[in-house]
Chains A and B, each alone.
Chain A
């Protein structure tokens, strides 16, 4: 093909159409300015690099995450943006830890983003956190729960929004001890074979032994395994008193369904279950007590409005990852408005002051300055008795906030003495 001829033709076409295009553009721009907030003349948009898994065993959660952040960005922009500048969120599939790091670096260098945020996989959050540290860019690690991110591998530029593994274990641990399910019991655990699972199982193991239980087996389950029947047979052979699930994402759903399929008699408890994965497991298959960071039944005015708006816009009930991404972007906007800056150092200084943020819960949240963890309420949930669910997503019984309203928010989290974080 003759390219020079082609470009010549293209030039001709553009020149004849340019005037027409200009007029239309002008008209469109004029129309848009009537309905849209008027951005300050010179202000370039504030770019936010958002990475989250959209495929793989966490992909279903990532879709909620992307919708949550989109809704927050649109609300902020409709209200005039941040410091009169438009927010532009660039969302990409983080795929795996290596790709996540490459994309984060590219977003900083090429897209010139002011802030990085996102992630559900702890392994990917770790590599992005390292990129953020090297480039001295603020990174909100939103949905990653591994303790080591806030401990050994902590980093001055990374802030953690979701509840860490320790809080998850402690949130349901009290209930397990109360129901006499740990002391003197033989426990068999299944663990997701990656950073998060390893971290969770370490904390869970400590919790069980501290409370008089014995761990008689702990099996690593690859994240891409869908058939868990061989593990179920191993569990049956071990004859435990209790099964503890330290699985992640899709794995939990598959485990719960196949456990119901085999109909084993042992009670199951677990320290990690996202509501979307619980919904997929279906009513009648799920039992036990689980922790969560947020649930759409939370009866605060902020949460109710959020749920209603989300349902109206996306036609489905928001999952906890939609909520957490939504509030994180709002936290970032508040920090930028307060400091009148997008500079990472200034934002970090503000976040470290212990400023409070409305996170649509009964109590406000704040970041601890020494491990950058958002302090907030968590909730245990159980399963409603058969026949009480109003629809397919209504079979979870949402519990009261922990810590209780009169207790410190830091009650369930690691204390400074036990934490190995050095910024």
Chain B
């Protein structure tokens, strides 16, 4: 029995990890291509959750999964064009301050518009309940989330590895100067990456609304986890982030099974161990310009 219970926690942890992935992937992409640590990433996640509340009122939950990321993606264009673009070559401390400040501005903006009280988005009733597989129980909604995450993941992988767009982006990560010599402007690519990143974060917000409460500080909450995931996975590595997100989810689930009080600490212990053994993260690539 014990093994079945543990397995159940592992699978549940994988789902949770997939969910972290939505946040961490965008964070990692923006850092790899633009060299910017986007501390405002959580703000887009929170905006996604709040905007989806409004979209759901008029168009329903299904539509909000599509519409909300597009709306937040448009904000992403403005964010990249008017703010981030000025800081690619500047001292990193400036972009840190900028995005940190922006995160605070957005959080307060949310407080002004929607108030500090937690809001709730209802789960469509067809997603409520669980499926049983033998003696293991899976929440229908979480399996749905996992499905969406897998789709997004495949989409981003294909985009980066099988298209001309992806080739330029990957080349830009390693050798931006060489890409420039070839006569390719990286800026439009950067805009696209930022849009992609913040839109997936917003999608995370949309999907999270029905499970937990939507509140102004939710962005700050998730950012910590997202950072830990990116650091464990290794900066700039697509699969590193994937493996790390799943690992963090599973470790958390197993810790709750044996020692619930230590659950929140578990991911930091994991990060500590990984950094001790592999300072560059699990699958971190060597990126010359960051060293």
Contact = CB atoms under 8 A, between A and B. Distances in A.
B263 A230 contact: yes
Contacts of A220: 260-261
A225 B212 CA distance: 10
Given A63-B117, A260-B128, A237 B5 contact: yes
B157 to A, nearest CB: 26
A250 interface: yes
Interface string A221-245: 1101111011101101100000000
A227 B118 contact: no
Contacts of A261: 123, 127-129, 139, 141-142, 210-211
B256 A234 contact: yes
Interface centre among B210, B252, B260 (most CB of A within 10 A): B260
Given A260-B128, A280-B213, A59 B261 contact: no
B260 A226 contact: no
Nearest to B218: A226
B8 interface: yes
A29 interface: no
A222 B217 contact: no
Contacts of A60: 116-118, 215
B117 A230 contact: no
A418 to B, nearest CB: 29
B266 to A, nearest CB: 11
Contacts of A284: 122
B213 A230 contact: no
A236 B137 contact: yes
Interface string B132-146: 000001010110000
B119 interface: yes
Interface residues of A, number: 42
B117 A276 contact: yes
Contacts of A37: none
Given A226-B212, A262-B130, A262-B139, A231 B256 contact: yes
- Measured as residues with beta carbon below 8 angstroms from the partner, the interface class of chain B is 35 or more
Contact of B12 (A55, A59, A230, A316): A230
B37 interface: no
B9 interface: yes
Nearest to B137: A236
Contact of B210 (A225, A253, A257): A257
B177 interface: no
Contacts of A63: 115-117
Given A221-B260, A222-B261, A222-B263, A229 B16 contact: yes
B120 interface: yes
Interface string A347-373: 000000000000000000000000000
Contact of B5 (A233, A276, A279): A233
Contacts of A260: 123, 128
A311 interface: no
B211 A253 contact: no
Contacts of B141: 261
Given A226-B212, A282-B120, A59 B217 contact: yes
Given A254-B212, A280-B119, A263 B128 contact: yes
B118 to A, nearest CB: 4
Contacts of B129: 261-263
A185 B267 CA distance: 36
A234 to B, nearest CB: 7
Interface in B118-171: 118-120, 122-123, 127-130, 137, 139, 141-142
B209 to A, nearest CB: 10
B116 A257 contact: no
A54 B116 CA distance: 8
B213 A250 contact: yes
B252 A230 contact: yes
A258 interface: yes
Contact of A254 (B9, B119, B213): B213
A344 B94 CA distance: 50
B278 interface: no
Contact of A226 (B128, B221, B257): B221
Contacts of B252: 230
A236 B213 CA distance: 23
A319 to B, nearest CB: 8
Interface in A285-330: 316, 319
A222 B139 CA distance: 22
A86 B28 CA distance: 54
Nearest to A260: B128
Contact of A277 (B16, B118, B122, B137): B118
Interface string A269-287: 0000000110111101000
22 contacts: A56-B217, A219-B260, A220-B261, A222-B263, A225-B263, A226-B212, A229-B139, A229-B142, A230-B252, A230-B260, A230-B263, A233-B9, A234-B5, A250-B213, A258-B212, A261-B123, A261-B129, A261-B211, A262-B137, A263-B130, A284-B122, A316-B115
Given A250-B213, A254-B213, 10 more contacts: A59-B217, A60-B116, A226-B218, A229-B139, A230-B12, A234-B256, A261-B127, A261-B141, A262-B129, A277-B118
Nearest first, the 3 A-B pairs at minimum CB distance are: A230-B256, A63-B116, A263-B129
